Structure 1
């Protein structure tokens, strides 16, 4: 069993970490201060929007594990976690299903722009009364000559207000359950598509979220993902990539957070000594490290299995649950380590909590992950 990285993989991580830190680190910009289009162009230039896309379409052609390692470097070097999430949602929830299920002409037309940063993709799946259950979508798609007419509204669309391209799912056969759902690629300029203004959110501020409404929105049949009725499988495939690789960004965030806590515990003095000497402080930082390394191993295993064509819902569910729950717990511990400074915005520690709490909600809530894990265990 090999736990090390090759020299090439280690060098790729180091180069990405340096490049991201230079472009997006705290000395380069204030989170949320740059124009999203400028950020997207920079991300495309660094290759972060096409990590797992084949080279002929403008990507790097990496497997799941190498992709996750790059996203981890992205999350460590970029303090704007909203941007890390936005780019990862673009890649895993949208670009991956286009890569794997779109017709060749559509791939050739869209993938280069999605990889370069010319195009922003939005993930339009969740509805007001349907999130994790893909068999109960209220958005419908009625077949007409040459394509489909979509009607209904999607909520919580990641990148929705800014997107040029949407990957969405709609009910084409209401009597067929999850076999009656179809995936579509819809472009922003399609007649009948309306995107809302961005929501006000607790965290992940750079990732704009909003609603997308379809009113007799025509989608050509060549923009169906896979085949009619196969949308459930398309969505679950993209969710496998998202739940594994996207959360590597949170591993990078936790590396950053632990570094901050160690530095502070070494420098901050109380009662004539460094607070890192106090067991209550040291134990919290140790628990943070334990959560990180445990989650990291689970995530690496899930991605390795994907590279072996053995995508495991059990491994992916365990990984997503460990990373997201561990991130929130560690953010709370960091606030306790920093004390009053942890509650003040000027020190930036409270932002870790605001950005980690959503990780237990999107891509399937923690309770949904536990349900999936229980089913895989035969319960």
Structure 2
């Protein structure tokens, strides 16, 4: 791996950071407190090209290599005080869009991928009420009929579900085949029988809408099947590698911003006649924040390197998801402790990072599931 970045790459990261600082920080606390999705900022991000950075130019993308895209998303996370918006962007990039780009027909890419890159909103639905970590025990079914399929079932806890324009969803077309009978579909919000829930309130990431998708006798044409019938397992596994590997790219940028703020505060705040940064309890926390940040970067960059060179990355993606999600929570705790009372009072916008980080231990595969994946790939039965 080359640990250096070119001047061009660093300039792109700076542009992403400057864009976020200038355009993405309007009334963040108010939106967070009211569970309001920042649609105007989302559209600005689309116009800036965020949703197209790693995708081919023929679909409206920029065609950047993965490592460059990740670096830019890191810059976006540094500049944005709202963790929810970058998370929403990453969620759509690495699940919905990546699945369509990798498995979609040319017609599907023109019809769905291009509008998503331009700012349409897409959800990725596999989780059900009784199938979370046990993903392939899903109950939603797709019955083959003339010209297509009829979908019946529900998807729960889906990012962007309440506001999505389209959804990539998974259903079983042959229950007898178990996970080998799962098929993916692209469903337009306008389809009869497709409805969504209201926004479900959660502990953090409140500007990222989460909700349910409902399908009742929803007809989907055969042209909207994504990949071959029964190929849902392969499609989901591929999309999850991308999502696990990169969904926290912007949180790595946020960790860098935390560190910058912590150092500035530790050098200005005085206690017992000294700046608090001179006390070992504070300096050790800042040292740990730096160590976590640099380790997170190494995990993130390695996944991107493997991706850019078409090398296997399942284990590395699981390690990146596991480590970065847990490191963000730990650094957010240190961030609060360094700021003391200000850290727990909402008006100072310090405690929000911890709340936003907690969900990362669960979504895109829990920390326990990531450890299971890593252990299995190490040869444990």
Show the counterpart of 1:369: 370
Residue 82 of structure 2 corresponds to 80
Pairwise CA distance, 1:31: 4.6
Question: Residue 314 of structure 1 corresponds to which residue in structure 2?
Answer: 315
CA contact (8 A) 1:75 1:84 kept: yes
Deviation at 1:273, TM superposition (A): 0.5
Displacement of 1:32 after TM fit? Answer: 5.8
Instruction: Indicate conservation of the 8 Å contact 1:317/1:373, yes or no.
Output: yes
Displacement of 1:100: 1.2
Superposed, 1:57-72 pairs within 5 Å as 57-72=59-74
User: Does the 8 A contact of 2:37 with 2:208 survive in 1?
Assistant: no
| CA contact 1:134–1:232 (8 Å) conserved in 2 | no
Matches within 5 A, 1:248-327: 248-327=249-328
The runs of 5 or more residues in structure 2 that have no matched partner are none
TM-score, scaled to structure 1:
0.97
CA distance in 2, matches of 1:40, 1:338: 31
Q: Which residue of 2 aligns with 1:192?
A: 193
Instruction: Give me the whole-angstrom Cα distance separating, in 2, the residues matched to 1:311 and 1:79.
Output: 34
The whole-number CA distance in structure 1 between the counterparts of 2:30 and 2:181 is 40
Question: How far apart, in 2, do the equivalents of 1:147 and 1:182 lie?
Answer: 12
Deviation at 1:354, TM superposition (A): 0.5
Return the alpha-carbon distance in structure 1 between the equivalents of residues 319 and 292 of structure 2.
Answer: 13
Measured after TM superposition, the shift of residue 263 of structure 1 is: 1.1
1:30 aligns with 2:28: yes
CA contact 2:29–2:349 (8 Å) conserved in 1: no
User: How far did residue 48 of structure 1 move?
Assistant: 0.7
Describe the SS at the equivalent of 1:167.
strand
Q: In 2, are the aligned partners of 1:302 and 1:311 still within 8 Å (CA)?
A: no
Find the residue that maps to 2:134 and give its secondary structure. coil
Look up the SS of the partner of 2:142 in the other structure. strand
State the shift of 1:340 in Å. 1.2
Q: What is aligned with 2:16?
A: 16
Please state how far the C-alpha of 1:311 moved relative to its aligned partner. Answer: 2.9
CA distance in 1, matches of 2:137, 2:160: 23
Does the 8 Å CA contact 2:37/2:207 hold for their aligned counterparts?
A: no
1:154-188 CA distances to partner (integer Å, 9 max, x unpaired)? 00111011000101111111121221111111010
Query: What is the RMSD computed on CA atoms of the aligned residues?
Result: 1.3
User: 1:115 maps to which residue?
Assistant: 117
Cα drift, residue 35 of structure 1: 6.0
Cα distance in 1, alignment partners of residues 163 and 29 from structure 2: 17
Taking the TM superposition and a 5 Å limit, the aligned residue runs for 1:241-252 are 241-252=242-253
Contact 1:135 1:180 in 2 (8 A): no
The aligned counterpart of 1:7 is 7
* CA distance in structure 2 between the partners assigned to 1:46 and 1:16 by the alignment: 9
8 Å CA contact 1:32–1:80 kept in 2: the answer is no
Q: Deviations over 1:191-222 (max 9, x none)?
A: 00110110111111111011111001111111
- 2:52 is paired with a residue whose SS is coil
**Paired residue total:** 376
Please say if 1:92 is aligned against 2:94. Answer: yes
SS class of match (1:185):
strand
Who is 2:209 aligned against? 208
Aligned-residue offset at 1:19: 1.1
Deviation at 1:134, TM superposition (A): 3.1
* TM-score normalized with structure 2 length: 0.96
Equivalent-residue separation in structure 2 for 1:60 and 1:340 (angstroms): 44
Work out the CA distance in 2 between the residues paired with 1:311 and 1:159.
Answer: 29
Following superposition, the deviation at residue 44 of structure 1 comes to 0.6
